[in-house]
Amino acid sequence: MGQRRRSREVALQILYGMELTEFSPDEAIPSHFEAMATNDGRASDALVLCRPFAERLVRGVYLHRQELDRMLTAASQHWQLDRMSIVDRNILRIALFEMLYCPEVPPKVSINEAIDIGKRFGSEDSGSFINGVLDHILGRLQHAAARQEPSPTEKPDPASC
């Protein structure tokens, strides 16, 4: 399993716990990594390596949760967020956060990772549900980006470069 995949899975576990306990990231992140430490109190190398990206995801989802939830609600026809499973809801939040705020991760990678994680941790229908919602959002994002780009015949304003 890749480091980024492990980071996403750890972020999902932390966000899941945060929903149950109402902890903030400042409480939940250290608590999770302490619980995952070995008997001698040390974290495995894999866990240490995945922590920075996992923490970025958890803090990002927490900070932008209202925006993410609005977009997910608009994209998931006939499904309110509170009717979704905690697992699916948080997988969607993580992937959407990546799509919006992690330009180094291609959106299709975020979607594929979310689908795979949904299949592993969610229900039988999680993968297809997650795929449908995120594909819908990606289409909207691409359409919005295309409308904002100057046409090939327009010359950019030199002052904006």
Q: What is the mean pLDDT of each run of 10 residues along the chain (161 residues)?
A: 92 97 95 80 77 97 97 86 94 98 97 98 95 95 82 42 32
Phi-psi region of 84 (alpha: psi -120 to 50; beta: other; left: phi over 0): beta
Token readout for 125 is 């229908």
Is the model's pTM score more than 0.85? yes
Q: What is the per-residue pLDDT for 125? A: 94
Q: What is the per-residue pLDDT for 4? A: 96
Q: How far is CA 127 from CA 38, 112, 113, 124, 159, in A?
A: 32, 9, 10, 7, 46
Q: Residue 107 and residue 96: Cα distance in Å, rounded?
A: 9
Q: What is the per-residue pLDDT for 43? A: 65
Q: What is the per-residue pLDDT for 79? A: 77
Q: How far is CA 88 from CA 67, 77, 112, 153, in A?
A: 17, 15, 14, 43
Q: What is the per-residue pLDDT for 82? A: 86
Q: What is the per-residue pLDDT for 27? A: 97
Q: How far is CA 47 from CA 36, 85, 104, in A?
A: 8, 26, 22
Q: What is the per-residue pLDDT for 151? A: 46
Q: What is the per-residue pLDDT for 42? A: 65
